[in-house]
Structure formats: structure tokens, C-alpha cells
Structure 1
């Protein structure tokens, strides 16, 4: 299994509405991309200082399934239209799980 983990920090001018829209758009992806085995995302709880503000964790059976997700037009649209406009920093990793 492949686990894809992405962390975001939003720009200072990102609005609550924009952040909520990111979550709403991400919520639709598992129903549109059958290669997604599990999908979890949400805002940081604020327990520790210095954390990123938002995380996405997605599981796939194979690297090829992850690549389908990565390159899927709807996923790319979410990234381009909703995430990048409010993004200050991003970190990502793909690991075997």
C-alpha cells in the first residue's frame, strides 16, 4: 500500500471561505477517483506551535493507483483552482504503509 501525505500552510490572506472550499472540493475526490483506498484530511488541532495548518492523507493499493490520483483532472483542478491560490507552504511524502 502507498500512503501519500501532504501538509499545507495557508497564506496570511486566505479566508475561512477559501479554506472551507478546499475541504469541500477534496471531499468529492474519493467518489470520483476509484483508485483512492482511504482519504482523510483536515485542519491542524493547534496542539503544537509551528505545525502546518492542513493535512491530506491518502492511501492507494499501488504506485500506479497513486499516479492516477496525482494526474486526475479533477484533482489537478482542485490544486490549481483552490489550493495554490491560498498556499504559503507545502510538504509531501509518499511512503509504503
Structure 2
């Protein structure tokens, strides 16, 4: 199994209403992309300075399933229309679990 981590940094302050939009969009991904086995996401707790602002963790059975997620129209739409306008940067990593 592959665990995919995504850390997002916002280019502006994000209010609770916008965070709710992000949360709902990410929560809907497994319905649109059935190769997602598990997803956890949410805003950073701000325990330490310099942290990223939002965290996603997604599990896939294998790299092909991860690649299908990355190439999916639902992923592209989320990046372009929902999250993209607010992104300053991101970091990603994968591990085998």
C-alpha cells in the first residue's frame, strides 16, 4: 500500500468558510476516485512556526492507483477551481505502508 502525503501553503489568510469548502471537496474525492482507500485531511494545528497550512494523507493499493488519482479529472478540477487559487506552494511525499 502507498501512503501519499500532501502539505499545502496558502498565499493568503483562509477563513472558516473557505476551509469548509476545502474540507468538503477533499471529503468527496473517494466517491469520485474509487482507487482512494483512505483519506485524512485538515488544517494544520499551528503548533510550530513555519508549518504548512493544510495536510492531506491518502492511501492507495499501489502506484498505478496513485497515478490514476493524480491524472484524474476530479483531481485536476479540485486543483484548478477549488484549491489552486489559494496555493503559494506545496510539498508531497510517498511511503510504502
Alpha carbons of 1:13 and 1:47: their partners in 2 closer, same or farther (altered >3 Å)? closer
Instruction: Give the 4+ runs in structure 1 shifted more than 2 A.
Output: 13-20
Structure 1 residue 28, shift from structure 2 partner: 0.4
Q: Runs of 5+ in structure 2 lacking a partner?
A: none
**Alpha-carbon displacement from aligned partner over 1:42-77 (angstroms, at most 9, x marks no partner):** 001111111001000000011001111111111110
Asked if the contact 1:11/1:87 (under 8 Å) is kept, the reply is: yes
User: Could you state the TM-score of these two structures normalised by the residue count of structure 1?
Assistant: 0.90
Structure 1 residue 19, shift from structure 2 partner: 3.0
| Separation of aligned partners in 2, 1:80 and 1:25 | 12
- RMSD after superposition: 1.3
Report the equivalent of 1:68: 68
Structure 1 residue 23, shift from structure 2 partner: 1.5
Structure 1 residue 83, shift from structure 2 partner: 1.1
Matched ranges for 1:34-73 at <5 A: 34-73=34-73
Q: Runs of 5+ in structure 1 lacking a partner?
A: none
Aligned residues, how many?
A: 97
Report the equivalent of 2:8: 8
Report the equivalent of 2:85: 85
| Separation of aligned partners in 1, 2:23 and 2:95 | 23
